[in-house]
Amino acid sequence: MAGKDRGPERGPIRESLRLLLPLLAAIALVVVAVGVVTTRTTRAWFESELHSRAVLAASSARQGVLSAYASGDSRQLTFLLDDIVHDDQVVAAALCRIDGTLVTRTPLFPGDGEFCDRSRISVANWRGTRTGTQSGVITPLDGGVPSHVSVTTFISALTVPVRLVLLQDFEPAIRRETLVQRWAMLVFGMLAVASSLLTVLSSRLTRGGLMRRLTVALRGESKWWHDGDAPLIDDVRALAQRSTAAAVEADRDGRWTRSRLRSVLNEHVREESLVILANREPYIHDSVPGGDVIVRHPASGLVTALEPVMRACSGVWIAHGSGTADRQSADANGRLLVPPGEESYRLRRVWMTDAEEQGYYYGFANEGLWPVCHQTYARPVFRRSDWDHYRTINERFADTVLQETTLDDPIVLVQDYHFALAPRMIRDRLPRATIITFWHIPWPNAERFSICPWREEIVDGLLGSSIVGFHTQAHCNHFLETVDSALEARIDRTDNAIIRQGGRTMVRPYPISVEWPLRWTEAVPDAAACRRQVFEELELRDDTILAVGVDRLDYTKGIEERIEAVERLLERRPTLIGRFVFVQLAAPSRSEIPQYRQLRDAVEASVERINGRFGTEGYSPVVFLRAHHEPERVFRFYRAADMCYVSSLHDGMNLVSKEFVAARDDERGVLVLSKFAGAAHELADALIVNPYDMEEASGAMERAAFMPPAEQAERMRAMRAVVAEHNVYRWAGRMLLDAAQLRARARRTLNLSGFPMHVSTE
């Protein structure tokens, strides 16, 4: 605590030191460097000056010396040398023969001729020419005062060549050199200290003001920049918002929650409410025999994810009214408030004829786009009539958006492959809308998608969106690649955006998830009670190892492969026969489509075969429950089970895996998960398998069956932490924050130019 209290006082000092210490280190380096450079430069100047003096002295004495030497006048020679050393800098002089012997010298000239031999003088760098004057500095070995020595060769026709050797005092040069060096270091040092202090001071003084002005500008309360700088301000604002979002996510206590999502919406999107466009409605009203109407929660990952978002954010959900009692449960316009009894948002039902549903939903969406987007070897079927219905229904939903909003710039969340054309149609009707389209299934590579006869229209339709979202970056990359090959568009690879016809569409990964805490976990009893109930219902032995699978009956889910893996498990581990039970909860789905009916038949045949092979009186290794199961029932099974096997052959995300993890607050149970589900990227503590590989899949189930409780708990804890953190509020929150940025930018553009602009246009 004490440390914490001192924190705020030490902050500014630490901050200044952080700035100052590197500055001082840099100054020290600069001062040392200046010292070295000054020493070298001044020394070179002085040596050059002494060299010039030597040249001058020698040339003045040359004539006299040569004639005195030629005439053998030693007195005259002595006189001439004495004359030279009268110069206060030249301390000694000597005349030498070319063979290195001494002719004569002044009294202070050292030695007996060793200085006559140039090769015996220890000078590191001679300057000048060998035939003229050469000079350098000699430093005595004892470290005494250095001297400057020069050797000038006199060549004449009168006599043999002789050398004049001069020694000059170098001490004054050293003194001047030291003085210059000190001053230079002092001046540079003072300048450096002064400038660094000024830097620190000005940064402290200006930061407050700059930050204040920047804050005001970022809030959009004042405009102190030039119009041309607006993009820069936008970028700063975007950066600030992104860092805020990241900081929020990084803070465990700041985990995304329902109320947090709500406040993001209030803060960034203000009073505007959301409009969701999704084919599947969250509440289906069905008539049951006897005339009653029941409300069903559809088996849909999309609904699982979006419903909590709508509860948090309010607004309107536009969906196909598919229940047999839907019309009678809504008003004349197909509107009603939901959830029943809670009424926190509006459901707007859109009606369609059987033929339209057949063409748009069963036909183009589920016989065409669904198999194209999933790698499951189901042959896509594309019919012109289905396409026409698909377009008509997309138009109808786009029109309904217009009916359900009073704003000219609503935020519209378009969901899934049922509405690939709607974004462009909404954009045409509401140019300023922020349209976020989320594609809940995989996006295939460009080559595979090219088999769709209307791929250009599909891609163009999606590019009416401000943002297109996928579960994974790989799907985003496939989409960019598809756009590139299908249309004329500019792709901004740095920002993962597509620029086309003046519009800009961002492409982003937003991995979808479930709410946390998941409300159904609160609606069912604890794990022990669920296990008792399920065991009682299925009449299972107490020592049964229970595995569950929960899916729509869809060929992408790998249900046949799963049952085959159970067969392989019982083959490789016969002691499990009688003890191992696999329960498949299978919600009927799209049963108008022949492939789905064939799948149902194939699965039923497999179940029958395996139960015939391994079953006994009172024991069936596979229990196939083909029916709609309400979420409470599904969650009972999740809690009762020892393991859950998700064997998708290809899946955008797969929320069953996340629901299972959310259900297991007892930290027990093992998740066996297909590597082809998007969830495998996040739930690394599941047993990840290739569902096509029977050895691997059955091996993983065997391992799960005997996994020690401590390992189960460790894995489950890790997965629960991931799902808790990466929950659906985060999924929606991140999309809305990105949308808020686009909207703020569009508003500023509007303010600056005075012209209305397309919200996704730069």
Contact residues for ligand F6P, defined by CB under 6 A: 279-280, 300-302, 416, 440-441, 589-590, 652
113/671 Cα distance (integer angstroms): 100
Nearer of residues 189 and 588 to ligand F6P, judged by Cβ: 588
Identify how many contiguous H helices and E strands the chain contains and give both numbers: 23, 24
- The nearest distance, CB 297 to ligand F6P, in angstroms, is 12
- The nearest distance, CB 550 to ligand F6P, in angstroms, is 12
Nearer of residues 416 and 642 to ligand F6P, judged by Cβ: 416
**Burial of residue 13, with CB atoms counted within 10 A of its CB: 0-12 exposed, 13-18 middle, 19 or more buried:** exposed
524/222 Cα distance (integer angstroms): 54
| Per-residue DSSP letter, 364 | I
Nearer of residues 164 and 593 to ligand F6P, judged by Cβ: 593
133/561 Cα distance (integer angstroms): 100
Nearer of residues 303 and 607 to ligand F6P, judged by Cβ: 303
Nearer of residues 77 and 278 to ligand F6P, judged by Cβ: 278
Q: What is the DSSP string of 271-317?
A: T--EEEE-SS-SSEEEE-TTS-EEEE--S-HHHHHHHHHHHHH-EEE
Nearer of residues 512 and 566 to ligand F6P, judged by Cβ: 512
Nearer of residues 302 and 545 to ligand F6P, judged by Cβ: 302
Q: CA nearest 437: which of 475, 409, 466?
A: 466
Q: What is the dihedral of CA 560, 566, 572, 577, to 10 degrees?
A: -140
- The nearest distance, CB 247 to ligand F6P, in angstroms, is 31
Nearer of residues 482 and 589 to ligand F6P, judged by Cβ: 589
Nearer of residues 655 and 704 to ligand F6P, judged by Cβ: 655
- The nearest distance, CB 300 to ligand F6P, in angstroms, is 4
Nearer of residues 280 and 427 to ligand F6P, judged by Cβ: 280
Quick check: bond before 12 cis, omega within 30? no
- The nearest distance, CB 693 to ligand F6P, in angstroms, is 24
732/467 Cα distance (integer angstroms): 13
Q: CA nearest 701: which of 643, 650, 623?
A: 643
- The nearest distance, CB 255 to ligand F6P, in angstroms, is 25
Give me the residues paired with residue 500 across strands. 503
| 607 Cβ neighbours under 8 A, 6+ residues apart | 563, 584, 622, 624
Nearer of residues 370 and 638 to ligand F6P, judged by Cβ: 370
| 363 Cβ neighbours under 8 A, 6+ residues apart | 381, 383, 385, 386, 389, 390
Q: Cβ(614)–Cβ(570) under 8 Å?
A: yes
- The nearest distance, CB 322 to ligand F6P, in angstroms, is 9
Q: What is the DSSP string of 720-740?
A: HHHHHHT-HHHHHHHHHHHHH
320/588 Cα distance (integer angstroms): 18
The runs of H, that is alpha helices, within 539-593 are: 559-572
Kind of pairing between the strands at 345-350 and 315-320: parallel
Nearer of residues 557 and 720 to ligand F6P, judged by Cβ: 557
Nearer of residues 302 and 688 to ligand F6P, judged by Cβ: 302
Q: Cβ(611)–Cβ(620) under 8 Å?
A: yes
- The nearest distance, CB 284 to ligand F6P, in angstroms, is 11
- The nearest distance, CB 654 to ligand F6P, in angstroms, is 9
762/758 Cα distance (integer angstroms): 8
Here the tokens at position 751 are 């303010």
Nearer of residues 54 and 441 to ligand F6P, judged by Cβ: 441
- The nearest distance, CB 364 to ligand F6P, in angstroms, is 13
| 574 Cβ neighbours under 8 A, 6+ residues apart | none
Residue nearest to ligand F6P (CB): 302
- The nearest distance, CB 370 to ligand F6P, in angstroms, is 8
- The nearest distance, CB 723 to ligand F6P, in angstroms, is 17
- The nearest distance, CB 280 to ligand F6P, in angstroms, is 4
Longest Cα pair distance anywhere in the chain, in angstroms? 151
- The nearest distance, CB 660 to ligand F6P, in angstroms, is 16
| Per-residue DSSP letter, 616 | B
Q: Cβ(177)–Cβ(46) under 8 Å?
A: yes
